[in-house]
Structure 1
Amino acid sequence: MKRIREPAVAGMFYPSSPQKLLDEVKTLFDLTRSETNIDNILGIVSPHAGYVYSGKIAASAFNILLNKNYHTVIIISPSHREYFPGISIYDGDAYKTPLGIVPVNKEVRQKLIDSGQFIFEGVQGHRAEHAVEVQLPFLQVILKDFEIVPIVMGDQSRQYVDELSKSIASSLDEKTLIVASSDLSHFYSKETANMLDSIVENHINKFDFDGLQKDLESGKCEACGGGAIVAMMKAAYIASKKNSKVLARGDSGDVTGDFSEVVGYLSAAVY
């Protein structure tokens, strides 16, 4: 009997109807089609809000994967609903969305667990967490056959970020993609959010993961999946992929028209 993680936020963050979901994702891809061609992509940053708010910015990241081939996608997510020390990789067989079932790569999961003392398999962080799940329909539309390694960071402090980056770097090959799932600042005015979020953007464009980590730790900028972004960039550095580029940035006010309390979003590529 396979253990499948059922969709937790279908009908809330994205449509629960398979056809409506497919149509929405395809529309988002059409709206964000880019002439930019980036080779040797190791990872992307993608937001994880409802598609109505951050879908276009997420699609701008997944769009650059068009016609590329990956067999494993490592998705790194923060934990919004439960705190636990360490890093949890889903211990079941697959994740499910309205578009179908995505199997877990058990071999890579085991490699990561074996290479780190803080990395374990379990359901902690996976029960109701949306930040992994919302990435999957984009991947299901843009990629062919692939497996995932769904990772939720219960704690994003430096020791966990460092271990995760080293463990991921040691298990990478040319057919592996990393997705760092993160939104930016939450519930500031548009003006303040722009100031905070531009700091994250600048660090990513400079491939300055040390500076990003320091500014996240000091509160100079905010990203709920900041540890995921830094872990991906550090893994890329170890794997000699040392370029990163922000593809799009915006906030919820661009959609709602309410600029008093916005949530910031960004997409980026690491290559």
Structure 2
Amino acid sequence: MAGVRYPVVAGSFYPTSEALIELLEDFFSDLGEEGSGRRITAGVAPHAGYVFSGYTASRTYKAIFEDGLPETFVILGPNHTGLGSPIAIYPSGKWLTPLGEIEVDARMAKAIARLSGIVDLDELAHKYEHSIEVQVPFIQYLAEKAGKEVKIVPITLGIQDEDVSEDLGRAIFEAGRDLGRDVVVIASTDFMHYGPMYGYVPFRVRADEIPNRIKEWDFRVIRRILDFDVRGMFQELREMKHTMCGPGGVGTAIVYSHSAGALEAELLHYTTSYEVSRSIEAVVGYASIVFRR
């Protein structure tokens, strides 16, 4: 039976109702016309509170809109809650946000599950997870702008490594090809989580150096992403004990993009929570990246 997924971080990670529309209008004040070229295969966007990372996330969606919205966004986010299946696709139904409802592409979801050796159809893993939810208002807002019906396939990842990336990237590509879907993959991730709040203070760094050092550590990973180097990305993460939370989704986006004929990747925006909070007790990095044919 088709389910309904209700918002759990509306009013905390992002505003509700008119305040949300006003914030999105501010983020997209430089939005151009919807394109039709369809070169973008995938994007990376953060999932923190909009006050910290919303503008960065908007850069990914702005690029996709101006390239041309797809039929279906396959959105991969880490499973922060530990609930449900380790690799879980929301099977069918609708997701609700303060902007209304958006339909899950049930045929695409089932095709990915069939073609993958590791995916389960499972709603529970999504019930309280924020990493995918915070992406949805961006998609709804731009779909309304374009006057289009756009669907989503939400996938949470409790296991994230090279093998998961290869399996899911291949399965998403083959499912889209078999169904004739125009698909863009979104990898929902934040980058370095640094500070006592996260239990991560691995190096002796002077307080005034922390923001620049976090950027340095993140860019070691970002360079691998821009090179389509999945194994190199995971190698960097392990060597630094880096706390990027969604590498499996990014690896999947790279594998999918390679299969879909992408030839280049571009970093559109980078920032950290320090730019807003001015706190070094908990600093998180955020990046907007797109992959293009």
Corresponding residue for 1:135?
135
Corresponding residue for 2:5?
5
Equivalent residue in structure 1 for 2:186, among 179, 187, 207: 179
Corresponding residue for 2:40?
41
Q: CA deviation at 1:155?
A: 0.8
Normalising by structure 1, we get a TM-score of 0.92
Q: Which of 120-129 and 104-113 deviates more?
A: 120-129
Equivalent residue in structure 1 for 2:289, among 259, 268, 271: 268
Report the residue type matching 2:157 in the other structure.
M
For 1:66 and 1:157, the matched residues in 2 are separated by 30
Q: CA deviation at 1:197?
A: 0.7
Question: SS state of the match for residue 66, structure 1?
Answer: helix
Deviations, residues 27-53 of structure 1 (Å, cap 9, x unaligned): 1111x6589x98510111000000000
Q: CA deviation at 1:76?
A: 0.4
Once the two structures are superposed, the pairs formed by residues 160-175 of structure 1 within 5 Å of their partners are: 160-173=164-177, 175=182
Deviations, residues 147-169 of structure 1 (Å, cap 9, x unaligned): 11000011113322221111112
Corresponding residue for 1:211?
232
For 2:189 and 2:95, the matched residues in 1 are separated by 19
Q: Is the 8 A contact 1:61 1:269 kept in 2?
A: yes
Report the residue type matching 2:188 in the other structure.
S
Corresponding residue for 1:97?
97
For 2:225 and 2:231, the matched residues in 1 are separated by 10
For 2:55 and 2:21, the matched residues in 1 are separated by 14
Q: Is the 8 A contact 2:162 2:231 kept in 1?
A: no
For 1:84 and 1:118, the matched residues in 2 are separated by 14
Question: SS state of the match for residue 131, structure 1?
Answer: helix
Q: Which of 219-228 and 260-269 deviates more?
A: 219-228
The 1:231/1:2 distance shift into structure 2, 3 A limit, reads closer
Q: CA deviation at 1:207?
A: 2.6
Corresponding residue for 2:152?
148
Report the residue type matching 2:266 in the other structure.
K
The 1:230/1:2 distance shift into structure 2, 3 A limit, reads closer
**Structure 1: gaps (5+ residues):** none
**Structure 2: gaps (5+ residues):** 196-209
Q: Which of 1 and 2 has greater Rg?
A: 2
Percent identity between matched residues is: 29
Question: SS state of the match for residue 241, structure 1?
Answer: coil
Normalising by structure 2, we get a TM-score of 0.85
The 1:2/1:234 distance shift into structure 2, 3 A limit, reads closer
Q: Is the 8 A contact 1:65 1:142 kept in 2?
A: no
Count of matched residue positions in the alignment of Structure 1 and Structure 2: 268
Q: Is the 8 A contact 1:157 1:227 kept in 2?
A: yes
Equivalent residue in structure 2 for 1:239, among 230, 238, 260: 260
